Chain A
Amino acid sequence: MNAGPMRAGSRLERVLRSGRFAVTAELDAPDSADPNDVYQNALVLAEVCDAINATDGAGANCHMSSMGCCALLVRAGYEAILQVGCRDRNRIAIQGDLLGAAAMGVKNVLCLTGDDVSAGDQPEAKRVFDLDSIQLLQVARMMRDQGVLLSGRKLRTPPKFFLGAVENPFAPPLDWRPLRLEKKVRAGAEFIQTQYCFDVPRLQQFMRRVRDLGLHEKVYILVGVGPLRSHKAAEFMRDRVPGVWIPDDVIQRMAKTPKAQQAEEGKRICVEIIQQVREIEGVAGVHVMAYRQEEAVAEVIQRAGLLPRQPRVPRFAIPSDEGQGLQRSPQDARQEVAQLSALASEPASANASVQNGRL
């Protein structure tokens, strides 16, 4: 794969460029102001994936912001992917957030349009959609490569980002989706995470077209997968979650399974899909999503034979002094996360310890 020079040197970028099959996972942002809730989820995911997506108001439901989650993840030395949606912020806020995120040490950014407010728990809200996802991508790339804001004002230090976008190969207009992907690549996408894949033949069809366009040489495609919890959950996702396509044979397979074994069957389906997807030329990895089932995500990744993934040890350090922070052994990781979250709730003392770590 020839995808130009190294952009941000993030761990995800290095894994993808090395040609290893990458795994990313989605962190469910908590409805909480307690950093420990983020770390609890991250701890499970970090050991089984190369980077953790922090969702930005997924499904238009209000949770802790992607910024907040990423700040906590980066502070603990985890590899975070900042999700930036266009639903809630205009171009001024988005550019400011991108600078802030880069300053905190976030190196991966996923640009997306975002679910409409009507899908969420506060449908009375105003929808913003000042930019769309492709414009957002180009704005982020412009900040990185040209080192300017949209107005043309120069940035003293441009952000370094590995830029991602999303695609849904399973939603109409099916014949346009590969061309839309091409548009996203032109706008600056360097990796792609797709919507949930439950229909491998449809993905194969999409990937055939992508290869015809030569896009698999220009962009790393990570296919979205996830375990279904039950037959009911599958039907809910099909009917109520925008953009999720689950074919009838998958639904029937879940329905035929006795209730007590449905979660197990869901994981089995997911493992099978991962194994089939791995065989498709041009697929660079998988993106595992499961709402509030971190353990199931870890199990699926393990059973699909995608381990080990060399988890990075959490450490005390500010992001800029990479590698110089106080290193801890993996055994202390859990204890350290508890300390870290205690510190995070007291900004002054957290700063002091960061300073100590630096010295």
Chain B
Amino acid sequence: MVARMKEARRMPGAEWLKNHPRWLERIYLWTKRFVVRAYPLMKRINPRFANWLMVRSEEALKGWAFNCQMCGQCILHSTGMTCPMNCPKNLRNGPCGGVRPNGHCEVIPDMPCVWVQAWERSRSMLIFADEIKVIQPPVNRTLQGASAWVTMIEGHDVQTPHGWAMAARQEVER
């Protein structure tokens, strides 16, 4: 038998937190408010250190809570506070058709499907519950390893390929 893919890391305490996404919504908003003000100041003092600090703290904190894969374009609040990059197929728009009848992953039978959890958790959210219906653009692979907060502040995470943006504009007009 070929070795199976490893299950997503689950840290003590983190599961409880993710199952109470209303707290995480608030933490997200507070952190955003803080980082958006603090990062430009830090950057003015020492840009390299500021970036290093953001990457390291994100790796540690989001790594503990969400098993963050550092894709650099975080959409956690749109996906029920469950990291979609933990899906073995990296799906960002919803579950595949292979989810097992018990709600577990097709690829890793011991792991609950990321998207089953995302859906359940998004239902108990207050602010971002309906963001799960948004069509997410293709992942920008060049942002891998970057801090999602930094890419957000500098606007890189919402820059989609030119063609995609054209199609999205037409969608809005429709």
A-B contact pairs, 10 of them (CB 8 A): A124-B2, A129-B90, A141-B167, A142-B163, A143-B163, A151-B162, A153-B163, A183-B94, A186-B171, A187-B135
Which of A146, A167, A182 contacts B167 (CB under 8 A)? Answer: A146
Give residues of chain A (14-29) contacting chain B, Cβ–Cβ below 8 Å. Answer: none
* Residue B47, interface by CB 8 Å: no
User: Contact partner of B5 among A118, A138, A186, A187, CB < 8 A?
Assistant: A118
Which of these, B5, B97, B167, contacts A166 with CB under 8 Å? B97
Looking at B13-21, B70-78, B101-109, the stretch in contact with chain A turns out to be B101-109
List B54-81 residues whose CB lies under 8 Å from chain A.
none
B170 within 8 A of A: yes
Partner of A113, one of B96, B116, B166: B96
The answer to whether residues A119 and B106 also contact, given A134-B135, A148-B166, A243-B97 and a CB cut-off of 8 A, is: yes
Least Cβ–Cβ distance between A133 and chain B, in angstroms: 8
Q: How far is B167's CA from A143's CA once the two chains are assembled, in angstroms?
A: 9
CA distance A167 to B162 in the complex (A): 29
Q: Which of B89, B95, B99, B116 contacts A129 (CB 8 A)?
A: B89
* Cβ-based interface call for B93 (8 A): yes
Grouping DSSP codes into helix (H, G, I), strand (E, B) and loop, the B interface class, with mixed when no group exceeds half, is loop
B164 near A180 (CB under 8 angstroms)?
A: no
A83 at the B interface (CB under 8 A): no
Instruction: Decide: B98 and A115 in contact? CB cutoff 8 A.
Output: yes
List chain B residues, Cβ under 8 A from A5: none
| Given known A118-B5, A127-B88, A134-B135, contact A113–B167 (CB-CB < 8 A) | no
Interface size on B, residues (CB 8 A): 41
Q: From residue 84 to 131 of chain B, which have CB atoms closer than 8 A to chain A?
A: 88-103, 106-107, 113, 115-116, 119-120
On chain A, the residues within 8 Å of B93 by CB distance are: 132-135, 183
**A31 in the interface (beta carbon within 8 A):** no
CA distance A186 to B116 in the complex (A): 21
- The answer to whether B133 has its CB under 8 Å from any CB of chain A is yes
Asked if A173 meets B115 with Cβ closer than 8 Å, knowing A113-B96, A132-B91, A150-B161, the reply is: yes
Minimum C-beta distance from B93 to chain A (A):
4
Q: Which residues of A contact B113 (CB under 8 A)?
A: 172
Is residue A37 within 8 Å, beta carbon to beta carbon, of the partner chain?
A: no
Contact B166 A132 (CB under 8 A): no
Interface residues on A, range: 35 or more
In the complex, B4 has a CB within 8 A of chain A? yes
Majority DSSP secondary structure for residues of A touching B: loop
Chain A residues, CB < 8 A from B162: 148, 150-152
The reply to whether the CB of A65 lies closer than 8 angstroms to some CB of chain B is no
List residues of A (62-88) whose CB comes within 8 Å of B's CBs.
Answer: 86-87
A positions within 8 Å CB-CB of B: 86-87, 91, 112-113, 115-116, 118-119, 123-124, 127, 129-135, 138-139, 141-143, 145-146, 148-153, 166-168, 171-173, 175-176, 179-180, 182-183, 186-187, 195, 242-243, 245
A116-B107, A173-B120 given as contacts; is B161 within 8 A of A180 (CB)? no
Measured between beta carbons, the chain B residues less than 8 angstroms from A134 are 93-94, 135-136
Take A172-B116, A173-B103 as given contacts and tell me if A135 and B137 are in contact as well, using a CB distance cutoff of 8 Å: yes
Q: Mark B residues whose CB is within 8 Å of A.
A: 2, 4-5, 88-103, 106-107, 113, 115-116, 119-120, 133, 135-139, 141, 161-164, 166-167, 170-171
Closest 6 CB pairs of A and B: A152-B162, A242-B98, A168-B97, A142-B167, A134-B93, A243-B98
In the bound assembly, the distance between CA atoms of A167 and B95 in angstroms comes to: 10
Q: Closest CB of chain A to B72's CB: distance in Å?
A: 16
Contacts of B167 in A (CB 8 A): 138, 141-142, 145-146
CA distance A62 to B164 in the complex (A): 31
Quick one: which of A112, A142, A167, A179 contacts B166, CB cutoff 8 A? A142
Query: With the chains together, A302 CA to B89 CA distance in Å?
Result: 39
Asked, given contacts A129-B90, A129-B91, A132-B92, whether A171 binds B171 with beta carbons under 8 Å apart, the answer is no
Given A130-B138, A142-B167, A151-B161, A118 and B99 contact (CB-CB distance below 8 Å): no
| A94–B138 alpha-carbon span in the complex (Å) | 13
**Apart from A118-B4, A172-B99, A242-B106, 15 more pairs, CB < 8 Å:** A86-B89, A118-B107, A129-B91, A131-B138, A132-B89, A134-B136, A135-B136, A135-B137, A135-B138, A138-B167, A151-B161, A171-B95, A171-B97, A172-B101, A242-B98
Q: Which residues on the B side are within 8 Å of A139 (C-beta)?
A: 138, 163-164
A197 to chain B, nearest CB (A): 13
Chain B contacts of A86 at CB under 8 A? 89
User: Which residues of the partner chain A approach B94 to less than 8 Å between Cβ atoms?
Assistant: 134, 176, 180, 183
Cβ A146 vs Cβ B106 within 8 A = no
Judge whether B166 and A152 touch: CB under 8 Å: yes
